[in-house]
Structure 1
Amino acid sequence: MTTTLLTALAIALIIEGLMPALFPNKWRNYVLKLANEPISAIRYMGTLILLIGLVLLWLIN
């Protein structure tokens, strides 16, 4: 269980690090654009991503 969780965390960190490592200028522009979005839009996207992750996890298990 612990190994699986750490593996999942490692994969998430690798994926999260790809954009700033490979495309730093585009990533910075995206972060600046995100900073100008309303809080409700950011919360909606976060909730949507969370739900997609939960559904994928449920389907895998």
Structure 2
Amino acid sequence: MNSTLLTALGLMLVLEGVLPLLAPQAWRDTFKRMVELKDGQLRFVGLVSMSVGLLLLLFFKN
């Protein structure tokens, strides 16, 4: 695997772990609300998340 890809995966895992570490109750409440979303709503959240991530990558690309 490419070291850049592994670095990105590691950074993603670190960022994913910040909220459960610092505010577990808020993370739990958010997770419960996400589980209750309909499939279309959840897909939209995923699309927005991916779009923002891609925009950040394009904006900060060397």
- What CA RMSD, in Å, does the superposition of the two structures yield over aligned residues? 1.7
Shift, 1:35, TM fit = 1.1
Amino-acid identity (%): 36
Corresponding position of 1:2:
2
User: Are 2:62 and 1:57 equivalent residues in the alignment?
Assistant: no
Corresponding position of 2:26:
26
Q: Show structure 1 runs of 5+ residues with no match.
A: none
Equivalent residue pairs, number? 61
Q: Show structure 2 runs of 5+ residues with no match.
A: none
TM-score by length of 1: 0.83
TM-score by length of 2: 0.82
Shift, 1:57, TM fit = 2.3
Shift, 1:19, TM fit = 0.7
2:37 aligned counterpart, secondary structure: coil
Q: Which runs of 4+ in 1 moved over 6 A?
A: none
- Supply the distance in 2 between the matched residues of 1:29 and 1:56 (Cα, whole angstroms): 27
Shift, 1:17, TM fit = 0.5
